[in-house]
């Protein structure tokens, strides 16, 4: 059987509270399928690590991430802990840059049993994916955006061929794989090509790559219209690919449609490495209270197993990922309701329900 | 009685189709109140004007706008008509820059009778406003964002003290006036201060101006979290102020919550001038078919009358603006339903219903 080395970065606040049960669930799924095992190493990173050591992402942690087969992250950042320029400690951004994780996968799928937020009955089966470019765009040059004598500050949106070509190829490939599993097979390029030269370039590169992936149907949409249409007819979307900042905004909107951030998993994927983490933050307001919803982390873990399985041609890991997702669905079908959606089930209850569903799978 | 000179820029597509009935409605309201009259001058601008004369915003049009008391705009742009760099003809952006219209007011109010898009019953009384900074931010330097030898393209997000101080002062004032009419009196600064130096500067300037407007309660929110919360609990918002690009995205999201772009009015306001226009575009798919929803234009016209009344201390104009808004509400209460929300009422039917409601007001 294969051993997958997992770098685990629990991080701040509720981070450790959702990562620990996630590993329990992943191991339980692995025990059911056999065929692989996870070898986990906890590594420090985040706002509290910054307070302790002066470095939010120590070199040893980064080395550990590079050496691992995959990285599982909890949540990072803490409101009062800031860099001298006032921005927040967010080593997840540095990880994306350092490891070249250009493709941020943000699936939005309504778990059966969770009430749709939209009134339209079509919202009961939401299932779409936003691919957020994750290392450039407006997030490209954090250090250049300097305040000039207290009268002006700038940031630069950068779009490069070097990053966008692999991003779009990845997106076409992702859409194709999804189609093979029943997806619509439509990839929408979301930009603001009507106003910005950088975005017109983004669209041009997308069209170039489409020419090489012409089996996939494509759409073009502006980011403002997409924000509107994600509310008016989200059921029409399949896969979207967009700039970093736009993806940040739209993926939070998408999370709202499926119940909130506690239901929003993510993967940041590059050529060699990948980080899996829930989209939510460290949630200082509920940290330490056992109230965190670990669902997004479980689903991120499922994505991790499937990604590992795909990459290493390990069918058991793929199967285990599916088992986890099915167990989550089953737990919700059995009535589990996190605080986030007005329920009374805390982290422990949700974890127990998912483990029980795995057991009987 | 006062004569207000209105520069009318019907523009492209459905622009003229919504502007003409709007003027009819505004004049009817004025006839009811007396005390003012509108003197309108049609001026050419837009994509078709660009095709005709090579200039989307001719100097004579700009002069006419400067000489007017207010500017009423329909819609501009046409998909196939583009500048050589691939971006769209959007003279409304040039107008904002030329006339220094820094404050883009984008109210989102659910008209009684329109079905809420959200399942939660609290969505029945949505009423909040987004103030979009409208001359800088990511839209600041359109010409600098050049493609460098087909490998890279950039745009710059610029935040200046010069623009933000009046923007925030305007926003505090707006929130205060709204409070006097029953608003919550809460102003939320929406940014991404956790990541970007420009956005941390935006927040810092906001806090500085808050110190001088401490009667108004404030909140801070990140743009991604705001996209989520506009779906999860939009009823908690009162007034928001945000960067240009963020405001573009969030105001479309907000429009979706109240029925679509045909229900979303706007005003772009500066020190001396103001443009009033519906948020929707020229809608090539329905242009010429009599299907356009003129509601957003009527509501923009109402904002124009109120703004003129406020500025020139003309109570009749303020009253006329309110009459228009009430007539719109009455028409919808009487069952008017635009195509946009699945109804069968075209521009003429909606206009007739609003005029009839005005008549009996
Ligand atoms: C924490 C923050 C810096 C981060 C981002 O903006 O990318 C988060 O919002 C996310 O979506 O991963
Ligand atoms: C037409 C377009 C350039 C414009 C903008 O982005 O500002 C529009 O979307 C708007 O919101 O007024």
The DSSP annotation for A123-140 comes to: GGG-EEEEEEE-SSBTTS
Residue A359 burial by Cβ neighbours in a 10 Å radius (0-12, 13-18, 19+): exposed
A344, part of any domain: yes
Question: What does the block give as tokens for A247?
Answer: 């993806």
Task: Give the pLDDT confidence score for residue B149 in this predicted structure.
Answer: 80
Q: What is the mean pLDDT of chain A?
A: 96
Angle at which helices A91-98 and A59-67 cross, to 10°: 50
Q: Residue A25 C-alpha to ligand 1 middle, in angstroms? A: 25
Put simply, the chain A residues between 270 and 329 with a CB less than 8 A from any chain B CB are none
Task: Give the pLDDT confidence score for residue B1 in this predicted structure.
Answer: 77
The residues, any chain, with a CB within 8 Å of residue B127's CB and separated by 6 or more, are B107, B108, B109, B110
- Considering the domain architecture, whether residues A305 and A251 belong to the same structural domain is answered as no
Task: Give the pLDDT confidence score for residue B145 in this predicted structure.
Answer: 60
* Chain A residue whose CA is closest to B152: A160
Nearest residue by C-alpha to atom 9 in ligand 2: B248
The residues, any chain, with a CB within 8 Å of residue B360's CB and separated by 6 or more, are none
Give per-residue pLDDT as tens, A334-345. Answer: 999 999 999 999
- Ligand 2 shell residues, CB under 6 Å: A 194-195, 224; B 77, 90, 92-93, 248, 279
A90/B229 CB distance under 8 A: no
Point out the ligand 1 atom lying closest to the alpha carbon of residue A88: 3
pLDDT band at A142 (very low <50, low <70, confident <90, very high): low
Residues of chain A positioned with their CB less than 8 A from the CB of B150: 161
Are A107 and A61 a contacting pair, CB within 8 Å? Answer: no
Nearest residue by C-alpha to atom 9 in ligand 1: A248
Task: Give the pLDDT confidence score for residue A148 in this predicted structure.
Answer: 76
A264, part of any domain: no
> Which of B88, B155, B224 is facing A252, going by the closest CB pair?
B224
Task: Give the pLDDT confidence score for residue A349 in this predicted structure.
Answer: 98
CA dihedral over B25, B27, B32, B36, signed as positive or negative = positive
Beta-sheet strand order (sheet of A2-11): A36-42, A2-11, A70-75, A274-278, A265-269, A103-109, A127-133, A239-242, A186-191, A217-222
The alpha-carbon gap from B91 to the nearest alpha carbon of chain A, in Å, equals 11
The Cβ-side half-sphere exposure at A150, using a 13 Å CA radius, reads: 3
Residue of B85, B163, B197 to mutate, testing the A interface (most A Cβ within 10 Å of its Cβ)? B197
- Considering the domain architecture, whether residues A122 and A253 belong to the same structural domain is answered as yes
Task: Give the pLDDT confidence score for residue B87 in this predicted structure.
Answer: 80
CA A32 to chain centre: 26
- Considering the domain architecture, whether residues B354 and B295 belong to the same structural domain is answered as yes
Please report, in angstroms and rounded to a whole number, the separation of the first and last CA atoms in chain A: 22
- Considering the domain architecture, whether residues A121 and A250 belong to the same structural domain is answered as yes
Does residue A143 surpass a pLDDT of 70?
no
CA dihedral over A176, A179, A183, A188, signed as positive or negative = positive
Are A192 and B75 a contacting pair, CB within 8 Å? Answer: no
B57, part of any domain: yes
- Considering the domain architecture, whether residues A129 and A5 belong to the same structural domain is answered as no
Q: Tell me which long-range contacts A89-93 makes (C-beta under 8 A, separation of at least 24).
A: A89/A46, A89/A47, A89/A50, A89/A56, A90/A56, A90/B194, A90/B195, A91/A45, A91/A46, A91/A56, A91/A57, A92/A268, A92/A275, A92/A277, A93/A139, A93/A142, A93/B195
Q: How many CB pairs under 8 A join A and B?
A: 206
Q: A90 at the B interface (CB within 8 A)?
A: yes
Provide the 3-class DSSP secondary structure of residue B277.
strand
Nearest-5° angle of CA A63, CA A65, CA A69?
A: 125
Put simply, the chain A residues between 245 and 274 with a CB less than 8 A from any chain B CB are 245-246, 248-253, 255-257, 260-261
- Boundary of a domain, candidates A237, A257, A277: A257
> Which of A87, A228, A231 is facing B197, going by the closest CB pair?
A87
Put simply, the chain A residues between 145 and 174 with a CB less than 8 A from any chain B CB are 145-147, 150-162
Distance between CA B231 and CA A255 in Å, rounded? 10
Instruction: Please name which of B260, B254, B238, B98 lies closest in space to residue B177, comparing C-alpha atoms.
Output: B238
Backbone angles phi, psi at B171, to 5 degrees: -65, -40
Domain of B212, in residue numbers: 115-257
B105, part of any domain: no
Provide the 3-class DSSP secondary structure of residue B320.
helix
Task: Give the pLDDT confidence score for residue B144 in this predicted structure.
Answer: 62
Give per-residue pLDDT as tens, A292-303. Answer: 999 999 999 999
- Considering the domain architecture, whether residues A78 and A125 belong to the same structural domain is answered as no
Question: What does the block give as tokens for B18?
Answer: 């919504």
Instruction: Please name which of A173, A242, A179 lies closest in space to residue A205, comparing C-alpha atoms.
Output: A242
- Considering the domain architecture, whether residues B46 and B170 belong to the same structural domain is answered as no
Q: B124 at the A interface (CB within 8 A)?
A: no
Are A282 and A136 a contacting pair, CB within 8 Å? Answer: no
- Boundary of a domain, candidates A213, A233, A257: A257
- Considering the domain architecture, whether residues A32 and A147 belong to the same structural domain is answered as no
Backbone angles phi, psi at B170, to 5 degrees: -60, -45
- Tokens 């228009």, located at residue: B324
Please count the residues of chain A. Answer: 361
Are B68 and B41 a contacting pair, CB within 8 Å? Answer: yes
- Boundary of a domain, candidates A230, A257, A284: A257
A245, part of any domain: yes
Question: What does the block give as tokens for B302?
Answer: 């109402």
Q: A349 at the B interface (CB within 8 A)?
A: no
Question: What does the block give as tokens for B261?
Answer: 């772009």
- Considering the domain architecture, whether residues B13 and B50 belong to the same structural domain is answered as yes
pLDDT band at A149 (very low <50, low <70, confident <90, very high): confident
A109, part of any domain: no
Q: Which residues of chain B are under the pLDDT cut of 50? A: none
> Which of B118, B155, B232 is facing A157, going by the closest CB pair?
B155
- Considering the domain architecture, whether residues B353 and B242 belong to the same structural domain is answered as no
Task: Give the pLDDT confidence score for residue B142 in this predicted structure.
Answer: 60
Residue A180 burial by Cβ neighbours in a 10 Å radius (0-12, 13-18, 19+): exposed
B227/A252 CB distance under 8 A: yes
Q: What's B222's domain CATH number?
A: 3.40.718.10
Q: What global pTM score does this model have?
A: 0.97
Task: Give the pLDDT confidence score for residue A87 in this predicted structure.
Answer: 80
- Considering the domain architecture, whether residues B239 and B123 belong to the same structural domain is answered as yes
A230, part of any domain: yes
Distance between CA A128 and CA B17 in Å, rounded? 36
Point out the ligand 1 atom lying closest to the alpha carbon of residue A281: 1
- Considering the domain architecture, whether residues B125 and B240 belong to the same structural domain is answered as yes
Total tally of structural domains belonging to chain A: 2
Residues of chain B positioned with their CB less than 8 A from the CB of A118: 117-119
The C-alpha R_g of chain A, in whole angstroms, comes to 20
Distance between CA B40 and CA B68 in Å, rounded? 9
Q: Residue B192 C-alpha to ligand 1 middle, in angstroms? A: 10
Are B287 and B138 a contacting pair, CB within 8 Å? Answer: no
Ligand 1 pocket check for B144: Cβ under 6 Å: no
B137, part of any domain: yes
Ligand nearest to the CA of A281: 1
Provide the 3-class DSSP secondary structure of residue B269.
strand
Among B82, B95, B132, B248, residue to substitute to test ligand 2 (most atoms within 8 Å of Cβ): B248
> Which of B90, B119, B223 is facing A249, going by the closest CB pair?
B223
């Amino acid at each position: 059987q294969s051993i997958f080395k997992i770098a685990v970065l629990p991080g701040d606040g509720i981070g450790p509270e959702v990562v620990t049960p996630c590993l329990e669930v992943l191991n339980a799924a692995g025990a059911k399928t056999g065929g692989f095992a996870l070898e986990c190493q906890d590594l420090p990173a985040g706002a509290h690590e910054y307070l302790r050591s002066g470095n939010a992402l120590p070199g040893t942690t980064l080395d550990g991430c590079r050496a691992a087969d995959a990285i599982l992250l909890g949540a990072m950042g803490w409101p009062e802990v800031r860099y001298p320029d006032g921005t927040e400690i967010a080593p997840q951004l540095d990880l994306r840059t350092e490891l070249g994780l250009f493709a941020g996968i943000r699936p939005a799928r309504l778990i059966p049993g969770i009430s749709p937020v939209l009134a339209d009955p079509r919202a009961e089966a939401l299932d779409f994916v936003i691919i957020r470019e994750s290392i450039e765009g407006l997030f490209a040059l954090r250090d250049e955006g300097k305040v000039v004598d207290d009268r002006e500050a700038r940031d630069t949106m950068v779009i490069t061929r070097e990053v966008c070509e692999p991003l779009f190829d990845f997106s076409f490939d992702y859409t194709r794989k999804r189609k093979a599993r029943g997806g619509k097979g439509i990839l929408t390029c979301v930009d603001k090509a009507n106003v910005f030269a950088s975005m017109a370039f983004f669209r041009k590169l997308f069209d170039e790559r489409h020419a090489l992936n012409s089996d996939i149907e494509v759409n073009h949409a502006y980011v403002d219209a997409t924000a509107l249409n994600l509310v008016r007819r989200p059921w029409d979307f399949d896969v979207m690919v967009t700039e970093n900042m736009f993806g940040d905004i739209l993926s939070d909107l998408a999370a709202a449609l499926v119940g909130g951030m506690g239901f929003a998993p993510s993967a940041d994927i590059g050529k060699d490495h990948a980080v899996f983490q829930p989209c939510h933050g460290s949630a200082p307001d509920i940290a330490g209270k056992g109230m965190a919803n670990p669902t997004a982390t479980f689903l991120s873990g499922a994505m991790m197993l499937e990604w590992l399985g795909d990459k290493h041609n390990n069918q058991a890991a793929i199967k285990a990922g599916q088992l986890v997702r099915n167990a989550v669905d089953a737990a919700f079908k059995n009535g589990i309701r996190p605080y986030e959606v007005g329920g009374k089930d805390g982290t422990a209850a949700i974890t127990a329900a998912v483990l029980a569903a795995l057991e009987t799978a």
